[in-house]
Amino acid sequence: MSFSVRAERVLIRSANWVGDVVMSLPAIRAIRAQFPHAELVVLAKPWVADLYRHNPEIDEIMLYDRDGKHAGIAGLMRLCAELRARRFDVGVSIQNAFEAALILWLSRIPVRIGYAADGRSLLLTHRVIRTPSIRQLHQVDYYLKLLEGVGIPPCGRDIRLVLSEAERRWAKEQLVQWGVPEGGLRCGINPGAAFGTAKRWPPDRWIALCKRLLAEGIGAVFVFGSPSETDLGQSIAAAAGDGCISLCGKTDLRQAMALISECNLLVTNDSGLMHVAAGLDVPLVAIFGPTRHDQTSPVSAKARLIRVPVACGPCMKPHCPTDHRCMTAITVEHVWREAMALLEGARP
């Protein structure tokens, strides 16, 4: 089956979370290949919109400001009126929610593509059934399979995020301001994770890891995280000592991306920044506990996964109801060995 519809304007309703957006980029590349001359527009929530900046496949980013001008029923109708005025020919719902398909329908987009889920079938013109085998796929392949279901072929599954030269210069200038030795090894850690505490390796282990990295001669260790993780980042940096700098809540997403790109390694929980590091081709050690590593592992030849299979996992629960054994079974020594193996190739 091939997709024979022609289009001058294509709208993509973005995924809502950082990791999901990164893993959907191969699907967006396939859409661009299918419509090489069309205007390709992404409709995204504000907190993920910056991930699409400087992406050569995307012509425009539209914000879905659900907490602002698009709030409530009136805001939703205002958004759909804006989209109707653009006269899109094709709409693709990367997001699975009912509302995503409703937006395409209310915007009167004639061709509407998405998975038949959450009661959306009647709102879509080209719907794909989520079979049990599709549900088991890695998230990258899950998005690609949606397009394959309507006849749009994939163009590979590799992921690349793009930074501007100005962003790269800013990151280098920051390192100078912080007194980070030029040419020395730099490591980032990401001790937080959204959706609960179960995905988080214990703080005392992050502290022990940072101390070992600094003792080994790593020039600087940066703690990355969101504003909600400020206290966590500060406590780790304070306990680890000189050379450990907490950036939690001190950067926006693009700034965090630029600084991660300056790292020789990122050690991270299963999180959005894990996928960002993979998209920036930064070596990384990914610590997995209660989540499905076969569905959300980073797409990178430079990634090493650490997990200890346990009888109760993967449970996918946001908070562990028992003893958090899937995470406490992962030792500092294990993470340290994997980190040093990746850093060995980066030494001058």
pLDDT reported for residue 347:
62
pLDDT reported for residue 324:
96
Mean pLDDT in residue range 44-66: 97
Nearest to 217 by CA among 264, 287, 272, 279: 264
141 confidence band (pLDDT: 50, 70, 90): very high
Give strand pairing partners of 181. none
Q: Is the pLDDT of residue 345 over 80?
A: no
Average pLDDT score over the chain: 96
pLDDT reported for residue 2:
80
User: Within the chain, which residue ranges are assigned CATH 3.40.50.2000?
Assistant: 9-148, 165-344
pLDDT reported for residue 348:
58
Q: Are 84 and 78 in contact (CB under 8 A)?
A: no
Q: Which CATH architecture has domain 165-344?
A: 3-Layer(aba) Sandwich (3.40)
pLDDT reported for residue 118:
86
Question: How is residue 171 written in tokens?
Answer: 């990151």
| Amino acid making up residue 277 | A
Q: Is the pLDDT of residue 235 over 70?
A: yes
Nearest to 196 by CA among 316, 292, 322, 305: 316
pLDDT reported for residue 194:
85
For residues 208-225, one letter each, b for 16 or more C-beta atoms within 10 angstroms of the residue's C-beta and e for the rest, the string is: bbbbbbbeeebbbbbbbb
pLDDT reported for residue 181:
84
For a pLDDT cut of 70, what percent of the chain falls above it? 99
Phi, psi of 53 (to 5 degrees): -60, 140
Region of poorest pLDDT, from 246-255, 323-332, 337-346: 337-346
3-state secondary structure of 5: coil
Mind listing the pLDDT tens digit for each residue in 183-231? 889 999 999 998 889 999 999 999 999 999 999 999 999 999 999 999 9
244-246 and 126-128 beta bridge pairing:
unpaired
Q: For 9-164, list the strands marked E by DSSP.
A: 9-13, 39-44, 60-63, 90-93, 111-115, 126-128
In whole angstroms, what is the distance from residue 282 CA to residue 182 CA? Answer: 18
For a pLDDT cut of 90, what percent of the chain falls above it? 94
Would you list the DSSP string of 81-123?
HHHHHHT-SEEEE-S-SHHHHHHHHHTT-SEEEEES-TT-GGG
pLDDT reported for residue 195:
81
Mean pLDDT in residue range 68-77: 95
Mind listing the pLDDT tens digit for each residue in 252-299? 999 999 999 999 999 999 999 999 999 999 999 999 999 999 999 999
Tell me which CATH homologous superfamily contains domain 9-148: Glycogen Phosphorylase B; (3.40.50.2000)
Mean pLDDT in residue range 149-163: 96
